[in-house]
């Protein structure tokens, strides 16, 4: 196989993988570095495949945005990990309220009835 044909074949493969990796990352359980690296190769592959035109430049920009959005969304795939990250130990702030809506914004609600602790629960 000629070198130029091999380069074009690799570019087509990289372009296809760069488009598909963010879409199938959960199903195939692809690690984030693999998805980011594969998606980041797609604009370069497009530039190898086609001569410079406005359409190719727009396509390359769109593929760069595709890689950015895929990388930006990956940390949000695991809701439990997000919840663990949001929990803060310090500073501690106590809010005394009778409003249920205000209490829902807390990490923990301690209910007091007749001077006694009636309930203690973490907000999920």
Domain ranges of the chain: 3-78, 87-122
Name the band, by pLDDT with cuts 50, 70 and 90, for residue 124. low
If you average pLDDT over residues 26-47, what whole number do you get? 93
pLDDT digits (tens, 9 = 90+) for 53-96: 999 999 999 999 999 999 988 877 777 777 777 766 666 777 88
Range in 13-22, 57-66, 101-110 with the lowest mean pLDDT: 101-110
Reduce the DSSP state of residue 88 to 3 states and report it: coil
pLDDT at 55: 96
pLDDT at 56: 96
Question: At how many degrees (to 10) do helices 32-49 and 54-73 cross?
Answer: 180
């Amino acid at each position: 196989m000629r070198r130029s044909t091999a380069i074009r074949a690799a570019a087509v493969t990289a372009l296809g993988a760069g488009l598909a990796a963010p879409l199938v990352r959960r199903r195939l359980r692809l690690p984030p570095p693999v998805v980011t690296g594969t998606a980041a190769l797609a604009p370069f592959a497009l530039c190898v495949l086609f001569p410079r035109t406005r359409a190719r430049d727009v396509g390359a920009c769109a593929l760069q945005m595709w890689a950015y959005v895929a990388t930006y969304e990956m940390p949000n795939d695991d809701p439990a990990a997000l919840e663990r990250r949001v929990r803060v130990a310090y500073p501690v702030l106590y809010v005394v309220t009778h409003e249920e809506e205000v209490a829902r914004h807390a990490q923990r609600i301690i209910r007091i009835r007749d001077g006694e602790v009636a309930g203690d629960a973490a907000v999920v």
